């Protein structure tokens, strides 16, 4: 009878019918015997029913138990458990909560940061900022080889509480969420700490997700800090990406707050960098800013002597003799960081025929060589073209690799030498990323003349950007023709399309903005 209670109605009737037939075949003359035999034959009947059910197509748990909205009075969703468990690890699930979730993944997720059935606890964080988090050894061992060795290895220790002072609690929770819920939840302010935790406990897929997150959020503002961390975590791809940004946008990176947070070894590697695309006075000022913050970290008084002390030999990696004379005279020479003899020797280096020996590197950095993407196959001029009258020439472009737009190459006058005023602008989805107002001189030839942004602008792949220019000067100038929709420039492919911002006739086939100047 107990088995019958769990069967559907139609199957109950089947059991009854088969029990009657079985009893008739055994003893047709006795009703009491029939009833007795029916009871005695119940297990085989149940076995037969189970056998028949296995002939049907097998179904997954999610098919057998389709997701239903639980009753509001006694249950909650997995997402609600996640949110509650992030801050409350004493959550008691509803009675029979296992039946609310059709998959093992969802049922496992309920245990995330939950004291229910927890057989280990972690005290995570530095003294004064710890958080006690529950864990389940089996789940953790399945997700991490380090946890497996910790709980089930030959040297496993049977501890109820484990202290982890070197991991941030929020980062440890993010790692646990991945192990329990198979979900990656990263934030800009904790991703580095999460990467550290993933590396420490050998959770490679989470570590890879952290690196991808950092690469997509990489900019001049955080490139120096990420460079320091990528070397610590031994992530060569991330290190290379950081160097690309630092080289191309060196002045922005050196002026960022993050530059002052790097360690001494990273400082030395940046100051040695041959391809650093920055004025040397900017490098010098950035080093002094770092030294000031380093004095604070070491609890030293903010004096010129202490700044020089914390810089140590790194000071001589700054190529002071390669500065413009004005930059040296008005900047480095009056900073107080250099000794009187060093200042005199550098002045002699600038002016004397017989130059003194210097401890400073006297060879200028190579910097980066800009590449030019020319989109027209020919250019021309006519007696009534090209006129400007304050209107905008614009074109849209996209690249397949990250590049840094340094400026545009523009045509000049077709009627002899002339001076132009150019307002250049770079936008993405209507947001201005860079602009500059400058003048350039054209010599009357059909050559292009570079106009630069103040700082190179980072361009992400597979997204269209809008390049615009408003020219003011001699109305008759050269213009491009036979334009190309796609141009291969080194390892970078550039695609062009018309822009709705263009009000002066420039498009893909012809017009202005013949060149994009970029670093790759």
- Alpha-helical regions (H) of 233-303: 236-248, 250-255, 264-272, 280-297
Please give the DSSP secondary-structure letter assigned to residue 253: H
**H or E element that contains 516:** strand 515-519
Class of domain 77-217 as given by CATH: alpha beta
User: 382-430, pLDDT tens digit by residue?
Assistant: 766 777 778 899 999 999 999 999 999 999 888 888 889 999 999 999 9
Residue whose C-alpha is closest to residue 82's, from 114, 123, 117, 124 = 114
Query: CA-to-CA distance for 308 and 287, rounded, in angstroms?
Result: 10
The tokens for 484 are 């190309």
Supply the pLDDT for residue 92. 58
Query: CA-to-CA distance for 351 and 334, rounded, in angstroms?
Result: 18
Beta strands (DSSP E) in 275-401 are: 371-374, 376-380, 392-399
CATH T-level topology, domain 371-519:
Jelly Rolls (2.60.120)
What are the phi and psi torsion angles at 163 (to 5°)? -95, 135
Supply the pLDDT for residue 337. 93
Prior bond of 386 cis (ω within 30°): yes
In the β-sheet with 120-124, what is the strand arrangement from edge to edge? 131-135, 120-124, 161-164
Q: Is the pTM for the entire model greater than 0.85? A: no
The tokens for 275 are 């391809």
Task: Label residue 97 exposed, middle or buried (CB < 10 Å: 0-12, 13-18, 19+).
Answer: middle
Query: CA-to-CA distance for 458 and 398, rounded, in angstroms?
Result: 12
| Domain range summary for the chain, segments of one domain joined by + | 77-217, 236-351, 371-519
Category of 402 on φ-ψ map: left (φ > 0), alpha (ψ -120 to 50) or beta:
beta
Distance set, CA 152 to CA 136, 308, 504 (Å): 13, 53, 73
* Contact by Cβ (8 Å): 362, 507: no
The tokens for 83 are 């949110």
Class of domain 236-351 as given by CATH: mainly alpha
Per-residue pLDDT of the chain (520 residues; tens, 9 = 90+): 444 334 444 444 443 444 444 444 444 444 444 444 444 344 443 433 333 343 334 333 334 333 444 443 333 444 554 455 555 545 556 778 888 889 988 888 999 999 989 999 999 999 998 999 999 999 999 999 999 999 999 888 888 899 999 999 999 999 999 999 999 999 988 999 999 999 999 999 999 999 999 998 999 999 999 999 998 888 999 999 999 999 999 999 999 999 999 999 999 999 999 999 999 999 999 999 999 999 999 999 999 999 999 999 999 999 999 999 999 999 999 999 999 999 999 999 999 999 999 999 999 999 999 999 999 999 988 766 777 778 899 999 999 999 999 999 999 888 888 889 999 999 999 999 999 999 999 888 989 999 999 999 999 999 999 999 999 887 788 999 999 999 999 999 999 999 999 999 999 999 999 999 999 9
DSSP string, 47-98: HHHHHHHHTSPP--HHHHS---PPPTTT---HHHHHHHHHH-TT--PPTTGG
End-to-end CA distance of the chain: 78
* Contact by Cβ (8 Å): 427, 459: no
């Amino acid at each position: 009878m107990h088995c019958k209670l769990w069967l559907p109605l139609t199957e109950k009737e089947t059991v009854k019918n088969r029990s009657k037939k079985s009893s008739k075949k055994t003893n047709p003359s006795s009703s009491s015997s029939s009833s007795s035999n029916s009871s005695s034959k119940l297990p085989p009947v149940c076995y037969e029913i189970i056998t028949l059910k296995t002939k049907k197509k097998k179904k997954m748990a999610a098919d057998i138990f389709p997701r239903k909205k639980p009753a509001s009075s006694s249950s909650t969703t997995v997402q609600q458990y996640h949110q509650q468990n992030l801050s409350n690890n004493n959550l008691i699930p509803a009675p029979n909560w296992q039946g609310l979730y059709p998959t093992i993944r969802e049922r496992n997720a309920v245990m995330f940061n939950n004291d229910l059935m927890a057989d280990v606890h972690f005290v995570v964080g530095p003294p004064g900022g710890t958080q006690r988090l529950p864990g389940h050894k089996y789940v953790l061992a399945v997700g991490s080889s380090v946890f497996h060795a910790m709980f089930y290895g030959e040297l496993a220790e049977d501890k109820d509480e484990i202290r982890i002072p070197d991991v941030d609690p929020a980062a440890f929770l993010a790692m646990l969420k991945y192990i329990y819920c198979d979900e990656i939840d990263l934030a800009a302010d904790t991703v580095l700490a999460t990467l550290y935790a993933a590396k420490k406990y050998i959770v490679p897929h989470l570590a890879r997700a952290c690196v991808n997150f950092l690469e997509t959020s990489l900019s001049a503002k955080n490139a120096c800090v990420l460079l320091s961390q990528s070397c610590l975590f031994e992530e060569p791809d991330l290190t290379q990406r950081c160097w690309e940004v630092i080289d191309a946008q060196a002045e922005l990176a050196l002026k960022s707050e993050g530059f002052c947070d790097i360690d001494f070894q990273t400082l030395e590697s940046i100051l040695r960098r041959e391809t650093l695309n920055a004025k040397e006075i900017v490098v010098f000022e950035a080093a002094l800013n770092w030294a000031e913050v380093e004095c604070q970290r070491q609890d030293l008084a903010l004096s010129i002597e202490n700044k020089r002390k914390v810089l140590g030999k790194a000071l001589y990696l700054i190529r002071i003799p390669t500065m413009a004379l004005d930059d040296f005279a008005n900047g480095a020479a009056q900073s107080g960081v250099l000794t009187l003899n060093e200042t005199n020797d550098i002045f002699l280096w600038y002016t004397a025929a017989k130059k003194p020996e210097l401890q400073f590197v006297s060879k200028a950095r190579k910097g980066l060589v800009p590449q030019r993407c020319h989109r027209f196959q020919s250019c021309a001029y006519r007696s009534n073209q090209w006129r400007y009258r304050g209107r905008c020439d614009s074109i849209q472009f996209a690249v397949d690799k990250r590049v840094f737009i340094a400026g545009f190459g523009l045509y000049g006058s077709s009627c002899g030498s002339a001076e132009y005023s150019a307002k250049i602008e770079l936008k993405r989805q209507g947001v201005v990323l860079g602009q500059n107002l400058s003048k350039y001189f054209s010599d009357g030839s059909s050559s292009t003349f570079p106009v630069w942004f103040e700082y190179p602008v980072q361009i992400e792949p597979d997204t269209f950007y809008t390049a615009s220019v408003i020219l003011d000067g001699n109305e008759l100038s050269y213009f491009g023709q036979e334009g190309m929709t796609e141009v291969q420039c080194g390892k970078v492919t550039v695609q062009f399309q018309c822009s709705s911002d263009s009000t002066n006739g420039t498009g893909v086939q012809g017009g202005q903005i013949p060149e994009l100047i970029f670093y790759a």
